[in-house]
Amino acid sequence: MTGWFQTRVLAPGVFVTLEPAVHPMFRASIVTILGRDRDLQFDFGCGLLALRPALPLGAKPVVAVASHAHVDHIGGFHEFADRLGHASEATGFAGQPGVETFADEFRDWPDPVFHPPEPGWSIADWTLRPAALTGTLAEGDRIDLGDRQFTVLHLPGHSPGGIGLLDEVGGLFLSGDAIYDDEILDDLPGASIPDYLRTMDRLRTIDFRLAIGGHGPEMSRPRLIAIAEDYLRRRG
Ligand SMILES: [Zn+2]
Ligand SMILES: [Zn+2]
């Protein structure tokens, strides 16, 4: 069914795709950045329908990076050959049982979707497809698209291997679920409030113009700092 995915252009070569019919708890930002030599795909939705054909990707090689191994960010990760993420969540990406991807929570959610992606579809047909990492990313690693470079920031707290990508020159920050303009989830299995406090403290110091969070609207730098400082006040 067309229209399952909805893509917006934020800036030249910068796109955010959502699955509007997915329950807001699991409706995550799917970010595409077109580069001169290669493209970047950051996060992958819930995996209800094939994602890649719906994305504004061209014919260039694609670097696929997952912010972390929660179900709402890695559903379509398996559709990409070159899959990067943080090593501490490798078992989640690989689909090993007993690891916190929250796939079972999504399947058992009362209304995971507002309407089915295809006629006759049922959540019982859905599985989170394993997508083992083909390479790992760590703090300070660089992703080079030719005309844009991103630096990997390791931002644990929401999950142990949460990463953000920062384009210092372009002023663009992809923050995943490390920070977003919505309720911050820090009490999930695998989350750590002490780690989150350190991450929020660090996030206050990062320079950028626009941040795209894993959920919620885009954030200006003042807005992101306000969210981080609110968290530090509440939990610090
Ligand atoms: Zn998450
Ligand atoms: Zn999420």
Q: How far is the CA of 44 from the centre of ligand 1 (A)?
A: 12
Q: How far is the CA of 74 from the centre of ligand 1 (A)?
A: 10
Q: How far is the CA of 188 from the centre of ligand 2 (A)?
A: 11
Percent of the chain with pLDDT over 90: 97
Average pLDDT in the 203-209 region?
Answer: 97
What would the pLDDT profile of 157-194 be if each residue is shown by its tens digit?
999 999 999 999 999 999 999 999 999 999 999 999 99
* In the predicted structure, residue 139 carries a pLDDT above the cut 50: yes
Contact between 76 and 44 under an 8 Å Cβ cutoff? The reply is yes
Q: How far is the CA of 70 from the centre of ligand 2 (A)?
A: 6
**What HEC string does the chain produce?**
CCCCCEEEEEECCEEEEECCCECHHHCCCEEEECCCCCEEEECCCCCCCCCHHHCCCCCCCEEEECCCCCHHHHCCHHHCCCEEEEHHHHHHHCCCCCCCCCHHHHHHCCCCECCCCCCCCCHHHCCCCCCCCCEEECCCCEEECCCCEEEEEECCCCCCCCEEEEECCCCEEEEECCCCCCCCCCCCCCCCHHHHHHHHHHHCCCCCCEEEECCCCCEEHHHHHHHHHHHHHHHC
Report which bound ligand comes closest to the CA of 68: 1
Three-class SS state of 101? coil
Q: How far is the CA of 67 from the centre of ligand 1 (A)?
A: 8
**What local confidence, expressed as pLDDT, does residue 1 receive?**
44
Q: How far is the CA of 6 from the centre of ligand 1 (A)?
A: 20
* In the predicted structure, residue 2 carries a pLDDT above the cut 70: no
* In the predicted structure, residue 201 carries a pLDDT above the cut 60: yes
Average pLDDT, the chain: 96
Q: How far is the CA of 189 from the centre of ligand 2 (A)?
A: 14
Q: How far is the CA of 158 from the centre of ligand 1 (A)?
A: 6
Q: How far is the CA of 159 from the centre of ligand 1 (A)?
A: 7
Report which bound ligand comes closest to the CA of 102: 1
| pTM for this model (two decimals) | 0.97
Percent of the chain with pLDDT over 70: 99
What would the pLDDT profile of 85-123 be if each residue is shown by its tens digit?
999 999 999 999 888 999 999 999 999 999 999 999 999
Q: How far is the CA of 27 from the centre of ligand 2 (A)?
A: 7
Q: Lowest mean pLDDT of 115-124, 127-136, 227-236, name the range.
A: 115-124
